[in-house]
Amino acid sequence: MIVEILILVISFLILLSIGVPVAWSIGISCLLTMLVSIDSIPAFTTVAQRMATGLDSFSLLAIPFFILAGQIMNRGGIATRLIAFAKALIGSLPGGLIYVNVIAAMLFGAISGSAVAAASAIGGILGPHMEKENYSKEFGAAINITSSTTGLVIPPSNVLIVYSLASGGVSIAALFLAGYIPGILMGLALMLTATFWIKKKKYPRGEKSGLSKTFRTFVEALPSLLLLVIVIGGIVSGVFTATEASGIAVLYTLVLSALYKEIDRKSLYQVFLNSVVTTAIVMLLIATSMSMSWVMSFENIPQSVSKALLALSDNKYVILLIINLLLLFVGTFMDMTPAVLIFTPIFLPVLENLGVSPVHFGIMMVMNLCVGLCTPPVGSVLFIGVGVAKTTIQKIMKPLLPLYVVMAIVLLLVTFIPQISLWLPRLFE
């Protein structure tokens, strides 16, 4: 079994290091492991079957629909109205555009369920305004990058749907409810950190919005905010499933964008094209990750890892800390979706034996891997944020470092105080 693990891990790392895409690296490493080590099973046929079986899930239908809804929001003027509302609320504070960035990213990220979409939309709209008012481009980009990940914890979240699949059917409604407080806590922590930066740089107050303007921007943003109520409310109340909710989200955003008159036939074609490309990438990652999960299960790797971890300690908090450190390392070189699919079957049984709720672990895992989206070498949100801000990774690392620390502190709070994530799901039981 040690030989199989070495082949799987080393081939995967070598492929990644020479620039092979993650999905292909996973699939090829699985194939090599089976060709070398598992003689009794036809490797090519088995990998193909496991990839197809991995995608044969009704819950996964929600992902392309939520991706499409996010693309429509990005083009349909929804981000603009959310930013206007956030700016009317707190834009008059010293350094107010920094706070607006965090709140807008939380709102848009939560509605779209995509950190990349949030970083692109919010950064693209707010960036020029911040530069015009002499904000630090690098710190603005750092805040945009880190705050955009809150939308992966605040529902609806595609990654939480993937975790539900990988964990063997943990309630999506419970996961969605569990994400609210940790996601908001992360946003507040980033805003608190920004306060110190704002005081240090002595940013002036912004233009104060009157009550009438604040109310007007609220009314304009209300239809967008109602999407959260409709989608999450319907899922929690049992009116429809997460998959049905994703279809409703697409229909709602299409109607809303038509009413805003900011999306035409040409841009709608581009929206569908981008959605297809993104969906194809995500689904290929899911398919190959499911084949790797099967190979590891066949080789009893999860059981071996479980025994090794429990041999180190039987203390729940020590094991949680070790798993967090391992996931932080994994997140620096692996995309979130395959990381969830591959490592959930390995770590979840260990923690369930120690009495950790699978809902709690799901939120902890997603928050942990969110850090990896903001770090080199493969942080997709990092590269989007840097590109939108027209800066470089070298320049942005200094303001990012304290934000990494804050994200780690909030992660530890969520890890060791399970009530932060479990209070809301238990309230609605």
Name the pTM for this structure.
0.85
DSSP lists the bridge partners of residue 205 as 94
Burial class (CB in 10 A: 0-12, 13-18, 19+), 316: middle
Domain coverage including residue 245: 2-427
Each of the 429 residues of the chain gets a pLDDT tens digit; together they read 677 778 888 888 888 888 888 888 888 988 888 887 766 677 788 888 888 887 887 778 888 888 888 788 777 777 778 778 888 887 677 878 888 888 888 877 777 677 877 788 788 877 777 777 777 888 888 998 999 898 889 888 888 988 998 888 888 889 999 999 999 999 999 999 988 888 887 776 767 777 788 888 888 888 888 887 888 888 888 888 888 888 898 898 888 888 887 787 788 888 899 889 888 888 888 888 888 888 887 777 777 777 888 788 888 999 999 999 999 988 887 888 888 988 898 899 889 888 999 999 999 999 999 998 888 877 888 888 888 888 888 888 888 999 999 999 999 999 999 999 999 999 887
Burial class (CB in 10 A: 0-12, 13-18, 19+), 168: exposed
Element (H, E) at 51: helix 43-55
What is the 8-class DSSP label of residue 150? G
Residues 67, 248 contacting (CB under 8 angstroms): no
Gap between the Cα atoms of 424 and 410, Å rounded: 18
Q: What is the pLDDT of residue 48?
A: 86
Q: What is the pLDDT of residue 401?
A: 92
Q: What is the pLDDT of residue 1?
A: 60
How many domains are contained in the chain? 1
Tokens standing for residue 141: 């980009």
